[in-house]
Amino acid sequence: MALSGMRGLSVFISDIRNCQNKEQERLRVDKELGNIRTRFKNEKGLTPYEKKKYVWKMLYIFMLGYDVDFGHMEAVSLISAPKYPEKQVGYIVTSCLLNENHDFLRLAINTVRNDIIGRNETFQCLALTLVGNIGGREFSESLAPDVQKLLMSSSCRPLVRKKAALCLLRLYRKNPDVVNVDGWSDRMAQLLDERDLGVLTSSMSLLVSLVSNNHEAYWSCLPKCVKILERLARNQDVPQEYTYYGIPSPWLQVKTMRALQYFPTVEDPNTRRSLFEVLQRILMGTDVVKNVNKNNASHAVLFEALALVMHLDAEKEMMSQCVALLGKFIAVREPNIRYLGLENMTRMLMVTDVQDIIKRHQAQIITSLKDPDISIRRRALDLLYGMCDVSNAKDIVEELLQYLSTADFAMREELSLKAAILAEKFAPDLSWYVDVILQLIDKAGDFVSDDIWFRVVQFVTNNEDLQPYAALKAREYLDKHAIHETMVKVSAYILGEYGHLLARRPGCSPKEIFCIIHEKLPTVSTSTIPILLSTYAKILMHTQPPDKELQSQIWAIFSKYESCIDAEIQQRAVEYHALSMKGAALMDILAEMPKFPERQSSLIRKAEDAEADTAEQSAIKLRAQQQTSNALVVTDQCPANGTQAVNPLGLVKVPSMSNAERSNAQQGATHANGALTVVDPQLLSTPSPDLLGDLLGPLAIEGPPGTGPQIESRMASDLEGGANADALAIAPVEEQTQTVQPIGNIAERFRALCLKDSGVLYEDPYIQIGIKAEWRAHHGRLVLFLGNKNIAPLSSVQALILPPSHLNMELSLVPETIPPRAQVQCPLEVINLKPSRDLAVLDFSYKFGTHVVDAKLRLPAVFNKTAVEAARSGQRCKTYATGEMANLFISFRMMVCPGLDPNTNNLVASTTFYSESTRAMLCLVRIETDPADRTQLRMTVASGDPTLTFELKEFIKEQLVYIPVPSRAPNPGPPPNPTPQALPTSPNPSPPSAVSDPGALLAGTVGEMNNTMHGLGWRE
Amino acid sequence: MIHFVLLISRQGKVRLTKWYSPYSQKERAKVLRELSGMILTRGPKLCNFVEWRGYKVVYKRYASLYFCMCINQEDNELEILEIIHQYVEILDRYFGSVCELDLIFNFHKAYYILEEILLAGELQESSKKAVARLIGAQDSMVEDAKEQASSIKNMIAQATK
């Protein structure tokens, strides 16, 4: 041990240690800073030893948190000292004292550069360390090439090169252009052949950072990473000093697997096989041992392996192995492993098909929600949130509610937000939703944001069946002695609107309701009083026949607040007072609130926003990503589309201000009451964050002028005429058909689905139909996902399949109604009997409110789906005759087989087609092109079955004609319901004269194709 | 990536800080305050990770000293935990059964050693032996320079006698 003593420094440190309090410490520090300042003033008189001592003292003071605003120059000047001891101190103190934005650092760039390009390797190390720790953009601009040179140099020793690698990583983070050098990716691959583990570890960190931004350039590194992993995990081929508790560098293993996770997939079958062998070995071979450090290190590797397996979408067997391991981990006592088990299980939710296995661990996860460790509780909450769906929402949300009363304050807000979101998204029925939110407000009122109670009001307003129930519940909560102010707001609002529905129940007469609400008034703040005043006005309106006593009581309150200092309260009091004098006219003005237009839940949006600035992998994001596949998205209504906005207000009739005759008819049924719909067009076109902005000013008096006279007339024609945005609020009560426009282009969606196995088939404002297909030989299993996007149920749901003659299709039962916000899955079995290009059609209809929607959708059970890439040995070649065409073939599930045809301008592809009549049938396709004349090509199709050959030829022809034009015409706008057969391919078109459009060009060339060859007379 | 390394005593005193991401002195003070409040109050049988401002802090207590490293949410926590242990073992070997006092009075040594283990917030060297060799070489270079200086001083002293 060589502890070079610096007495002055030690004395100072022990002085600081002996200080009794912060004040003394500050005095001592100030004294020392004064001392150092005077010493530095006369720099010439300082010996190198003294200089070192003072800069160390400065660093110590700085580390304690005091500002040190001088002496930087002295620290930086030590860097240029000729001798090692001064230089070392200069470098290290500078790199701690300054950060990358500091001006003084610029002064040092030249010295640093000289040290880097100089011959002295210890100086090189010091300089690289400084740049690696605090180098900024300027450093990266001036030093990157020198650092790269050191890294690649064969004459440098590993101790310099490993620092160079990490230094370059720092420079790359500051300025990604530093690796925009010709041949850099090759050099990176070359670095991975390094034998020295120190250099290799550093290079791997560099690679991780590079591939995380752009994996494309580094494909050649992938097999090398797998090799390294094999070397470490399988062959254990590392020097003794690089094993850690007997494990071959766990850090390098982790980094290597991390790098592999940034590649979308591992294509080469051999590499993939070796990788899975290693992973299997890690998954199976990791045991729990007594030594903590060994255990941690081996589990660090294990968890990384789990992440990689998840990423690679391994076979089901391996996946269930992983879930089983995680299931074990979340039950162990060791807190670290349990924490990581929960965290990784949340990531696992992204993987399809394992959700059900994860659900089996629900009870165990709920136990972790009560763990003494907040870190573990958070993970458990995140996981529960992520795994929640319609099937288990009741249990999970109730568990969260229960936990809410004991949860620590740090978690309550998150907890209540999550509970509210889950309740909204997965409510099995709406009354349960109301229960949950009211409980939430009751238990954690302080943490329930306005959004949450706004949302429950919206649901209640839009669902008539719910209104009496909600009113009853609100009434019950008011019986409690101390209730949260938010509860006062929500119950007052609901009782004002719907309290009259309870009139027959005991304790619910208008007067009693008024009394119990009014009791709360002294306890609430000014923001709540306006809501109470509206409630009083509404109670008064609903009291038929008028109750004089109640009336005078309420009027007294109004007149009391007419002089209130708060403008909002005052205005309401004055207006309500004046209005309530009007008697019958009150009816019109204070009628029930109209339904709210559908908007994205601000809660969910909030959760997503919050997500943006926090963790990448948390469950909220997973949830957000899942939504797209779940078809359960609450979309913003597209304001441009008038008909969409019509719906939520569908039941509202618009009265004219002057129209008095109407009111007689409306005494009875309240919901038929004319309502003044205050629909600010702006609100519709720009979804405002404050959802109830209009709700809180419910009585603003503004009728849509000029629309009055038309009410009684039928409006359908107007609306269908795409009439206008100001017709928004008006919709006739009569049934409408087909005014609902699909979102997105159905034909485009269909085409996309022909080339892939899952996606959205159809979407409109109310429903989204997703599809997922799996094909095995000539059997197919399609699952239709019907997702109701609304907060009201979809009824009369019907789905009929009209199969063509060659397909046997069986659709399982489709439920008659889809509950709000729910998704149902309907499996559909398909058997392909013989080759044909005819398509199956799904006739889908449902009813929402007054809209009957009927859509006829083509199902993507197309010709190519029952083809399987013929598993031939040939590797994919990079020089296709026409790259685009090759890709197209691959997306048809045809294998492009380079090398079969000696002419490189030709493209050969093969596939095996399955159907019941043909069984497995090999098909071969050859496309001959002439590089000199791109307008022509010849296609030869061969198979053992004439029909198949013909159909395949026609199919490819159609598809070739359809190659999308990427650069132009983003909206090709095909006719609304085209069938592919109807595409502009005449059997024998002559080559077009005007060759500007590539599609047309191909259409011409396809005409040259022939289908001469039947049988397999074609040699390989 | 490791954003910073903190060594905090049980009483909340700072023993060593190293920042790999730029933080102003004000932010540093805030980070230290928040984290010592969170970490020092945690019981002994809890996990070694705390979630903080969208990051994770991996910490481990050795006797009276907490070693903390702040990483990104998606980083491998156990890997970091063992980097901490590796650092402690190297310190232990260098000082010969290290204690808090060693680190208080030789914080500059603790820096030298850390500089050989981490760079740019990443692990630079995972071999204890290699780190020990490098530190040994640095120490002897400093010693050599000192001897040289004193022999020159003697020579000058003798010549001017």
Better-predicted residue by pLDDT, A748 or B33: B33
Residue A610: predicted pLDDT: 55
Return the minimum-mean-pLDDT range out of A494-508, A811-825, A968-982: A968-982
pLDDT band at A456 (very low <50, low <70, confident <90, very high): confident
A18 touches chain B (CB under 8 A): no
pLDDT number for residue A460: 87
Pairing label, strands B65-72, B2-9 = antiparallel
Q: Does A651 touch chain B (CB under 8 A)?
A: no
Mean pLDDT for the stretch of residues A634-657: 33
Whether B115 sits inside 8 A of A129 (CB atoms) is yes
Residue A646 pLDDT level (bands cut at 50, 70, 90)? very low
Q: Which residues of A touch B105 (CB under 8 A)?
A: 10, 13-14
Binding region of A: 7-8, 49, 53-57
Coil, helix or strand at residue A1010 = coil
- What confidence category does residue A599 fall into, taking pLDDT thresholds of 50, 70 and 90? low
User: What pLDDT, on the 0 to 100 scale, is given for residue A607?
Assistant: 64
| Interface test mutation site (partner A, options B4, B115, B118, B133, max chain A beta carbons within 10 A) | B115
**Residue A637, pLDDT score:** 34
Residues of chain A contacting B18 with CB distance shorter than 8 Å: 96
Mean pLDDT of all residues in A297-322: 88
Assign A416 to helix, strand or coil.
helix
B73–A92: do the CB atoms touch at under 8 Å?
no
Residue with the larger pLDDT of the pair B20 and A647: B20
Nearest CA of chain A to the CA of B145: how many Å? 7
CB B75 within 8 A of CB B54: no
Q: Do B74 and A338 touch (CB under 8 A)?
A: no
Give phi and psi for A945, each to the nearest 5: -135, 125
- What residue of B is the nearest CA neighbor of A293? B82
Using alpha carbons, list the distances in angstroms from residue A249 to A71, A202, A230, A276, A296.
Answer: 42, 12, 12, 20, 13
Neighbour count for residue B76 (Cβ, 10 Å): 23
Strand runs (DSSP E) across A677-740, as ranges?
736-737
Indicate the burial class of A830 (C-beta count within 10 angstroms; 0-12, 13-18, 19 or more): buried
Q: Which one of B43, B106, B123 has the shortest CB-CB distance to A251?
A: B123
**Distance between CA A797 and CA A655 in Å, rounded?**
33
B112: contact with A, CB 8 A cutoff = yes
Rg value, chain A, Cα: 37
- Tell me the mean pLDDT in the region A843-863: 77
Kindly indicate the confidence band of residue A603, based on its pLDDT and cuts at 50, 70 and 90.
low
Residue A714 backbone dihedrals phi, psi, to 5 degrees: -80, 135
Shortest distance, CA B18 to any CA of chain A (angstroms) = 7
Nearest-Cα distance to chain B for A166, in Å, is 6
**Is B47–A375 a contact, with Cβ atoms under 8 angstroms apart?**
yes
Lowest mean pLDDT: which of A5-19, A509-523, A834-848? A834-848
pLDDT at A420 over 50: yes
Interatomic CA distance for residues B3 and B30, integer angstroms:
15
**A785 - beta bridge partners?**
A770, A825
pLDDT tens-digit map of A80-92: 888 899 999 999 9
Question: Which pLDDT value is given to residue A639?
Answer: 36
Quickly state the pLDDT bin for B19 (edges 50, 70, 90).
very high
Strands A779-788 and A767-776: antiparallel
Q: Which of A587-601, A627-641, A718-732, B69-83 has the highest mean pLDDT?
A: B69-83
pLDDT, position A31: 93
> Nearest C-alpha of chain B: how many angstroms from A262?
13
What residues of B are in contact with residue A339 (Cβ under 8 Å)? 47, 49, 77
Q: How far apart are CA A826 and CA A798, in angstroms?
A: 12
Percent above pLDDT 90 for chain A = 21
Chain B hits for A169, Cβ within 8 Å? 120, 122
**CB atoms A293 and B85 under 8 Å:** yes
Which of A144-158, A617-631, A746-760 has the weakest average pLDDT? A617-631
How many C-beta neighbours within 10 Å does residue A626 have?
17
pLDDT over 50 (residue A526): yes
Residue B68 has pLDDT above 90, yes or no: yes
Q: Give the mean pLDDT of chain A.
A: 75
pLDDT at A278: 93
Which pLDDT tens digit goes with each residue over A618-641?
Answer: 334 444 444 332 222 233 333 333
Residues 301-320 of A with CB under 8 A from B: 303-304
Q: Is B112 helix (H, G, I), strand (E, B) or coil?
A: helix
Nearest to B130 among A99, A198, A376 (CB): A198
pLDDT band at A407 (very low <50, low <70, confident <90, very high): confident
| Residues in chain B closer than 8 A to A201 (CB atoms) | 123-126
Mean pLDDT of A73-84: 89
- Cβ–Cβ gap A96/B111 under 8 Å: yes
The average pLDDT across B19-34 equals 93
Taking CB atoms and an 8 Å limit, are A613 and B125 in contact across chains?
no
Kindly determine whether residue A88 and residue B142, on different chains, have CB atoms separated by under 8 Å: yes
> Mean pLDDT across the stretch B83-104?
94
Question: Is A43's pLDDT higher than 70?
Answer: no
In 3-state terms, what secondary structure has residue B71?
strand
Inform me whether the pLDDT recorded for A876 exceeds 50: no
- Weakest-pLDDT range from A28-32, A344-348, A351-355, B4-8: A351-355
A360-364, A391-395, A860-864: which range is least confident on average? A860-864
Residue of B nearest to A168 (CA): B120
Residue A678: pLDDT band (50, 70, 90) is very low
Quick one: pLDDT band at residue A606, thresholds 50, 70, 90? Answer: low
Of the two residues A472 and A659, the one the predictor is more confident about is A472
pLDDT of residue B62: 94
Q: Which chain B residues contact residue A64 at CB under 8 A?
A: 14
For chain A, give the percent of residues with pLDDT over 70. Answer: 75
Instruction: Report the sign of the C-alpha dihedral through residues A637, A640, A642, A643, in that order.
Output: negative
Average pLDDT over residues A749-754: 78
Nearest by CB to residue B73, choosing from A84, A169, A615, is A615
For A446, other C-beta atoms within 10 Å of its C-beta total: 13
Q: A958-1002 pLDDT, tens per residue?
A: 777 665 544 443 444 444 443 343 334 334 434 433 334 444 444
CB of B19 within 8 Å of a chain A CB? The answer is: yes
**Which of A 145-204 lie inside 8 A of B, CB atoms?**
159, 162-163, 166-167, 169-170, 173, 197-198, 201-202
